[in-house]
Structure formats: C-alpha cells, structure tokens
C-alpha cells in the first residue's frame, strides 16, 4: 500500500448563530457571546420549547442570483454561502486542468424540512399544481454538495453524508480519507442544517430532548451544568477546504492546521441514547488517536459534543476519562454549543472550525452558563471565559442518533 498523503486545512467558511462569517463567529465565541434567543421564524407560543440558535440577517442574495434562490431550501443556501467563503479564503482556483481533482462532501442531518412542511401545506390547501417544480431538488440533502460543485466547477468526488448530529464531522473525515488515498487533491467538506420549523421543534420536544428554559433563552444551553434540561435547536453551516500538503505547498497556500486522525464507530445500542459509560464514543476517540499515531497525552483540547442533555454530557465525560486516564484532568474540554445551540448536521463542521482556530490562535473557547457543575462532570470545561493555551493537538467530537460517532483530530502544521 502506498504511503498516506498528508492533508491540511487551507480554507474556512461558516454561517452561525454567532455571526455570518468565520471571523465574526470566532470573535463572538472567544468573547463568550450567546446566539440563542426566542424563536422568530414561526409562532412558537404553543410549543414546549420556544427558543433556538437562529442565524440572524442571513441574505442569500449576497451569494446567489435571485432566480436561483427560490430553487434552494435555506440549508442549501447557507451551505453554498459558506462554501464560497471557504474557497475564497483558501485562494484555491478551480480550472479545467484541476477540476476533476477537487471534490465536495457536504451533508445535513435532516435536509429540507422547511420546504417539505411548506409544500405539504400548499398541496393540501391549493392542490398539486401549486407545488414547485424545484421542490425535490430543494429538499434532497445531496443538493447542497451538488449546488456547490456546480457553482465552483468541482468535478471530483461528490457525495453527501447523513449521520444525524455527526454529519459535519463524518463529511470532513471522509473528505480527508479521499485526499489521503489520492482520489482527490482538494475537497470542500462540512455540514449544513436549518430546521427551525414547527415540525422539527415539535418532534424534538416530543422526545423531551429540548430545553424549556423559555424565560431565560441565553441561559438555556448549559452543558455539564447540573441544571441543564436539554439541548437548544440551532442552525448554520461549517465548511472547510482540505488539501493534500503537496497541493497546498505548490501554490503557497496558508495552512491553518493539519488533519492527523479520524475515527468512527457505532454504539449498536439505542436509537437516541448513547451507549453506557461512553463505550462507543471511547472507541471512536481511540480509533482517531490510533489513526493519528499519537499517544493520548498529546491532546491538549477537546471540543466536546456536549449537547446539554443529562446523560449525553455525563457519558461523554466518562468516555474521555476512559480514553485519557489521568491526562483527562490536564485537558481543556469545552462545548461551544453553550453559545450556538446544537446545529445538528452542521455542528461538526462549525466545531471543527473552532477547533482549528484554537490551534491557530492559541485560544481555547469557553463553556458558558457552567454555573453549577454536575459532580459527575469534573473535568476542566473552561467555564465562562476563553483561555489562552498553546494547542498542539485538538479533538472535535460528534455523536449522533442511531449511535453513530465521529472524532476528528487536528494538529499544528510543522
């Protein structure tokens, strides 16, 4: 087998509840700002949970021609916007000569549920002739990757990952593998989600998964805190440009970090609850460390899945202790979902970007609202305020319904 190629990150693009680009989202996260508030996208007064991490003031017209906007659900619009920002940030030029060596993997956990809800109502009230001819391409999850590839001319591997809340991380991991083995020289990869709509909120609320701290929206997402009462639904997009090291050096690209490891596992336990004591998550992190060929003690920071659910946070803490032993207490571990809410299929993409920038900037992001730590969650979760720390290696964890787990490891490029 030929030697694996090194893979680096050369471009970042994000649209989040904290900002409409990477810089604004990062600066807000460093400052501990919170992008969660009352739901404004529909009347949520009858719902048990009335709060969300909404993307405010997103204008798809900044990126997309007016006639094309109506052909895309919001999750596709945001994916295209973030992908264009990431490609511009990378300085990557796609030409007829290299187009078949540049690919796209962008996934979503749920896809175009807003459009499904809207056009189902239209069908029932006004009949089949009122359903848009663009309805199907609006809701298909792979049309995020499809629209990006069409727009930028990327003719390489084109695919879509759908693994619930692990989608963004699996997308980046699979793109990493494609470059490693030589099937592409560059990949645009990540996740996008936008399902702040009645059906999604009602569904998650029926599972008793959502926070109902409606009178204090900014305090509702509180990972690892004893008073947490569920996650907060969010929306957004996180996209990265990955390249082979050779490709990046050849064009003198700026390198944010290197991708050094990727792990994935299945709990084979329950449709929505994690395996006891974090057995599946622990195997996933161990696989990532083995793939990166590093000792657990090399890790400085973990961007935790940390959703703010009772069992999820405790079990992820158990998994970290299982993998890292005494070193677990020397790590910084934080959940940026405390500020963004849970972006579902986009979470892994945005949190990968935060992990990469922690390496680049020597700053570990905080877990806000950690006022009363759960005794079962006794690691350094960087409460309230960001921390200056040299980060050589960082892990970004994502765990999804169905027991699907993803672990990405990034390191300083040397």
Q: Dump pLDDT digits (tens) for 103-113.
A: 999 999 999 99
Give pLDDT tens digits for 167-207: 999 999 999 999 999 999 999 999 999 999 999 999 999 99
State the catalytic residue, choosing from 170, 197, 284, 305.
305
CA distance 210 to 395: 26
Q: What digits encode the pLDDT tens for the residues 76-112?
A: 999 999 999 999 999 999 999 999 999 999 999 999 9
Closest listed residue to residue 147, CA positions, set 119, 208, 188: 188
Instruction: Give me the CATH code for the 262-411 domain, please.
Output: 3.40.47.10
The residue annotated as part of the active site, out of 197, 342, 377, 407, is 342
165 is catalytic: yes
- pLDDT for position 209: 97
The string of pLDDT tens digits covering residues 345-368 is 999 999 999 999 999 999 999 999
Is 342 a residue of the active site?
Answer: yes
Q: Is 305 in the active site?
A: yes
User: In this model, does residue 1 exceed pLDDT 70?
Assistant: no
Average pLDDT, the chain: 97
Q: Please compute Rg for the chain using Cα positions.
A: 20
Cite the residue boundaries of each domain of the chain with CATH code 3.40.47.10.
Answer: 8-250, 262-411
Q: Confirm if 240 and 353 have CB atoms less than 8 A apart.
A: yes
Which residues contact residue 413 at a Cβ distance below 8 angstroms, ignoring those fewer than 6 apart? Answer: 8, 255, 256, 257, 258
CATH superfamily for 8-250 is Thiolase/Chalcone synthase (3.40.47.10)
């Amino acid at each position: 087998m030929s030697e694996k190629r090194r893979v680096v990150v050369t471009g970042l693009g994000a649209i989040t509840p904290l900002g409409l680009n990477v810089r604004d989202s990062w600066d807000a996260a460093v400052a501990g700002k919170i992008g969660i508030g009352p739901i404004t996208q529909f009347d949520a007064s009858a719902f048990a949970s009335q709060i969300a991490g909404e993307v405010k003031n997103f204008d798809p017209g900044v990126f997309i021609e007016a006639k094309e906007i109506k052909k895309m659900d919001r999750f596709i619009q945001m994916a295209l916007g973030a992908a264009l920002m990431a490609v511009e940030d990378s300085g990557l030029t796609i030409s007829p000569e290299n187009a078949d060596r540049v690919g796209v993997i962008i996934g979503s956990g749920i896809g175009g549920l807003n459009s499904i809800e809207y056009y189902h109502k239209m069908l029932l009230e006004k009949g089949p002739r009122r359903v848009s001819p663009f309805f199907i391409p609006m809701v298909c999850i792979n049309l995020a990757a499809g629209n990006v590839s069409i727009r930028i001319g990327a003719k390489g591997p084109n695919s879509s990952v759908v693994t619930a809340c692990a989608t963004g991380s699996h997308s980046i991991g699979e793109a990493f593998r494609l470059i490693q083995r030589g099937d592409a020289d560059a990949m645009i990869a990540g996740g996008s989600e936008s399902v702040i709509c009645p059906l999604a909120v009602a569904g998650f609320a029926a599972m008793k998964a959502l926070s109902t701290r409606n009178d204090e929206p900014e305090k509702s997402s509180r990972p690892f805190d004893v008073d947490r009462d569920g996650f907060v639904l969010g929306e957004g997009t996180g996209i990265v440009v990955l390249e082979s090291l050779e490709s990046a050096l050849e064009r003198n690209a700026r390198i944010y970090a290197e991708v050094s490891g990727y792990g994935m596992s299945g709990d084979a336990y329950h449709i929505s609850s994690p395996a006891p004591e974090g057995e599946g998550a622990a195997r996933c992190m161990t696989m990532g460390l083995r793939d990166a060929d590093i000792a657990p003690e090399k890790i400085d920071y973990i961007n935790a899945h940390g959703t703010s659910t009772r069992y999820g946070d405790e079990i992820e803490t158990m998994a970290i202790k299982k993998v890292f032993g005494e070193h677990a207490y020397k790590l910084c571990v934080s959940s940026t979902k405390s500020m963004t809410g849970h972006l579902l299929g986009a979470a892994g993409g945005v949190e990968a970007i935060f992990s990469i920038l922690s390496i680049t900037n020597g700053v570990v992001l905080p877990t806000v609202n950690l006022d009363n730590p759960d005794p079962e969650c006794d690691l350094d979760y960087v409460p309230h305020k960001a921390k200056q720390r040299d980060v050589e290696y960082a892990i970004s964890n994502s765990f999804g319904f169905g027991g699907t787990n993803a672990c990405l490891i990034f390191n300083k490029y040397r």
